[in-house]
C-alpha cells in the first residue's frame, strides 16, 4: 500500500445516489443524504492519503432538469454540508472553493459558500473544489469570455489559466462511480490527459478501500501524453 503512486489532483463524478436508495426500497433523497455524508468520509481519506487537490462533481448544469423536489433537496443538503463541515475543513488545512456558476443559487446557500471560502482562503495544504451548477462547456465559455473582457489573447495556455481549477493543475485521475462510462460535462478541458477510472460501486458505498483500488490502477497506468 505504501508504494502506491498517489495522484496530485483527483476529480470524482459522484454518481449513483438515486439507484443506491432505490435498491434499498427507499426514495432517491435517502441516497442523496447518504451520498452527502460520504463526501466527508472520502475527503478525509483522500487528503490523509496525500492527495493535494480534490474536485467533486456535486450538481451539474444539467441537473436542474430534475424534479423540483429533488433539486431542492440537493440544495438543502449542500447548505447543510457547508454549514456542518466548514470548521473541520478549515482546521485541516483545506481551502474550500466552489466552482461553477454560483450566481443563480439561493442567497442562503451563496452566503454559506462565501463564508466557507473566506474562512479557508489561506489554507495551502489541500484544495477542495466542489462543483455546483458546473458544466465543462460552460466553464470553457466562461474562461474565454473573461479573457476577451480583459483584452487577452485566446491560447491553450490562457484558457487553462482562466479555468476554475487553474491553481490545482490538471486532474491526474478522474473517477466515476455508479457504473456509467461518460464524463457528463465534467472537467472537459483540463481532463484532456486525465486517467479515467470507472467503477460500478454506487457513490454512497464508495470508501477508502475503493479509493485505494483506483489509486492502484492509476499507478499501473502508463501516461504517455502522446509520446512513445
Q: Which residues bind ligand IPE (CB under 6 A)?
A: 13-19, 57-60, 63, 74, 178, 180, 182, 184, 203
Decide if 123 is catalytic.
no
The least distance separating ligand IPE from the CB of residue 214, rounded to whole angstroms, comes to 16
Query: If DSSP codes are grouped into helix, strand and coil, which group holds residue 129?
Result: strand
- What does the per-residue mask of binding to Mg ion show for 6-45, with x meaning CB under 5 A? ---------x------------------------------
**Least Å distance between CB 184 and Mg ion?**
8
Q: Which whole-number Å values give the CA distances from 164 to 101, 116, 184, 219, in the listed order? A: 10, 17, 17, 26
Per the annotation, the verdict on 17 as an active-site residue is no
> 57 or 218, CB closer to ligand IPE?
57
Q: Which of 3, 15, 101, 200 is catalytic?
A: 15
Query: DSSP of 50-78, one letter per residue?
Result: T--EEEEEEEETTGGGS-HHHHHHHHHHH
Residue 116 or 178: the one with the smaller Cβ distance to ligand IPE is 178
Query: What residue spans of 134-194 are helical by DSSP H?
Result: 136-149, 156-162
Q: Based on CB atoms, which residue is closest to ligand IPE, 92 or 138?
A: 138
> Which of Mg ion, ligand IPE, none is residue 115 near (CB under 5 to 8 Å by kind)?
none
From residue 14, give the alpha-carbon distance in Å to each of 33, 125, 161, 214, 228.
13, 23, 26, 14, 33
Helix (H) or strand (E) holding 13: strand 9-13
Q: From CA 217, how far away is CA 211, in angstroms rounded?
A: 10
Determine the 3-state secondary structure of 96 from DSSP. strand
Give the active site residue among 63, 101, 123, 205.
63
When CB distances are held under 5 to 8 angstroms depending on the partner's kind, the choice from ligand IPE, Mg ion, none that residue 58 binds is ligand IPE
Catalytic residues: 15, 63
Amino acid at each position: 500500500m505504501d508504494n502506491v503512486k498517489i495522484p496530485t489532483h483527483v476529480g470524482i463524478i459522484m454518481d449513483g445516489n438515486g439507484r443506491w436508495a432505490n435498491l434499498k426500497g427507499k426514495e432517491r433523497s435517502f441516497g442523496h443524504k447518504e451520498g452527502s455524508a460520504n463526501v466527508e468520509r472520502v475527503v478525509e481519506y483522500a487528503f490523509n492519503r496525500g492527495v493535494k487537490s480534490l474536485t467533486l462533481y456535486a450538481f451539474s448544469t444539467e441537473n436542474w432538469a430534475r424534479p423540483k423536489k429533488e433539486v431542492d433537496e440537493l440544495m438543502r443538503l449542500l447548505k447543510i454540508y457547508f454549514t456542518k463541515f466548514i470548521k473541520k475543513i478549515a482546521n485541516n488545512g483545506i481551502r474550500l472553493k466552489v466552482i461553477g456558476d454560483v450566481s443563480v443559487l439561493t442567497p442562503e446557500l451563496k452566503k454559506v459558500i462565501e463564508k466557507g471560502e473566506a474562512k479557508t482562503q489561506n489554507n495551502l495544504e489541500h484544495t477542495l473544489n466542489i462543483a455546483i451548477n458546473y458544466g465543462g462547456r460552460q466553464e470553457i465559455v466562461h474562461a474565454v469570455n473573461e479573457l476577451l473582457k480583459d483584452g487577452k489573447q485566446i491560447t491553450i495556455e490562457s484558457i487553462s489559466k482562466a479555468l476554475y481549477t487553474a491553481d490545482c493543475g490538471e486532474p491526474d485521475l478522474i473517477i466515476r462511480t455508479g457504473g456509467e462510462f461518460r464524463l457528463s460535462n465534467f472537467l472537459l478541458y483540463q481532463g484532456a490527459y486525465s486517467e479515467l477510472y470507472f467503477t460500478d460501486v454506487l457513490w454512497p458505498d464508495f470508501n477508502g478501500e475503493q479509493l485505494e483500488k483506483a489509486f492502484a490502477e492509476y499507478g499501473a497506468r502508463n501516461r504517455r501524453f502522446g509520446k512513445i
